[in-house]
Amino acid sequence: MIISPCQKSCFLVLILMLPSAAEACRYTVRDVAMVDLADPHYVLCLITKGELEPSLAETLTNAASPILADSNVEFRLFDAGQQPTDPADASIHSALESLGITSYPAAVMLAPDGRALELPLMIDGLTSDDNPIQIAVLRQLLRSATTSPRRKELLHYLLRGHSMIMLVDGPDSAENQRAVSWIEDAIARVHDALPTMAKPIELPPRMIRLSPEEAKREMILLWSLGVDLAHEVNTGETRVAQIALLFGRGRKLGPVLQIPGSRQQDLWRSLGVVGSDCECGLDRSWMQGPMIPHVWSTEDEAEAVAALGFDPGNPLVKAEISRILARGPSQSKRANRSLEEPLQPQLQLGEIDIDALVSEQTVPSEESHQEVQPEQTLDRVTAKAETPLTGQSDASRTEKTPQDGASALQGAFVWVLVALGLVGVLGSLGVFLLGRKKQS
């Protein structure tokens, strides 16, 4: 059987294209957020004034190891009287100065981005007259740093849920109620859009509302998300109502929204990213936001496999996710984009730059309100969604941008190549069968 050069070309294009197409559609943003690609850990540092006896230091380290084994928190001892010898010690020394710590022992938690939090309440009782360090109190301190009832609740829900919306009440009850209305509306919109998403998601977003008393108990969780607490962090009070979003394996989704100060459409847009395909044009910072301090055991991993349909801890999966992330926009490309340019009313959520979104958290001017109306946002939860979530008719939709047209043309071209490849394969098969028939 003789295959023409045209048939060979079409067949080759088909072979080369199908694996990449399958890879592009296999995972969603939510799937990628479930995978831990050696994310930087938090550090819980026990700081003393004067070097500890080697035997005591070893005892403390051994006590911390089993508690932190399945967590993303590391334990470190630091002598405040010594000069820093490495970057990690330098970060701890800077935290002591910024926090104004002068009494020891002290406990400080460092985030991967360098932020520091003193744990004053949890350090009470750590020392006694007979023993400079109480091991039982240290274990309690470590457990509180890695887990809490709310963290267990949200991690369990995120295995099957779209996202978790955490509202921290502010002092103004009217603003708190406005935040609740925003969240309830967003949950309803995303719930209606679940069937249009790239992959099925069992449960819609869920809201957790924290009072000042509850916020005080969840101080470490809120701090890790970047919630702006009052100067007296132990009160759990905030200056304004704040909304923090989580998805995947406890990853922060987008910026923390403040009311007043943010717009309702910012909430819609952040939530709309979760169900999108991992397309090459999507800013990868949406998928790899910082994780909260948490414990992830083998039982959690098994539950994730059952819920997701793939193993997020499998090395092959991690390698594939790494390749997907590597195809995203470069840091220089995001840095060169103007942070002041207005958001387009019909902007596809899969193309949002998180850095640009952060810059829009200030109260918008009247001109910006005219450019982007809240009811026009969340037009598409995913690139595949053809019906806007606002329920507008076809006549009221904004015209597609040139980028949308180019993407559609590119997609049509790909399908034309697929069709040509299939025609070539079927034609070759027909010629082969006719030749066999003639020979018989």
Least Cα distance to 209 among 254, 173, 234 occurs for: 173
| pTM as predicted | 0.69
Q: In which order are the strands placed within the sheet that holds 42-48?
A: 73-79, 42-48, 106-110, 116-118
pLDDT, residue 83, reads 82
Written as one string, the DSSP assignment of 327-385 is: TS--HHHHHHS-TTSPPPTT--GGG--HHHHHTT-SPPPHHHHHHS-GGG----SSTT-
Q: What is the pLDDT of residue 411?
A: 58
User: In order of start, what are the domains of the chain with their CATH numbers?
Assistant: 45-146 (3.40.30), 149-391 (no CATH)
**φ and ψ at residue 167, rounded to 5 degrees:** -105, 125
The pLDDT assigned to 93 comes to: 87
Contacts of 349 (CB under 8 A, 6+ apart): 269, 272, 273, 276, 378, 380, 381, 382
One pLDDT digit (tens) per residue for the chain, 440 residues:
455 555 555 445 444 444 444 444 578 889 989 999 989 999 999 988 887 888 888 989 999 999 999 999 999 999 988 888 888 888 888 888 888 888 888 889 999 999 999 986 455 445 545 555 678 888 888 999 999 999 999 999 999 999 999 999 999 999 999 999 999 999 999 999 998 888 889 999 999 999 988 998 999 999 999 998 764 455 556 689 999 999 999 999 999 999 998 999 999 989 988 988 765 456 666 678 899 999 999 999 999 999 999 999 999 999 988 887 777 554 444 433 333 333 333 334 433 444 444 444 444 444 443 433 333 334 443 334 443 333 333 333 344 444 444 555 555 666 767 777 777 767 777 766 666 666 65
Give the relative orientation of helices 5-26 and 315-326 as an angle to the nearest 10 degrees: 110
How far does the chain reach from its first CA to its final CA, in angstroms? 15
One-letter amino acid identity for 175?
A: E
d(CA 357, CA 360): 5
- Alpha helix segments (H runs only) across 100-148: 120-123, 135-146
245, amino acid identity = L
pLDDT at 394: 39
Distance CA 162, CA 273 (A): 10
Confidence (pLDDT) at 144 = 92
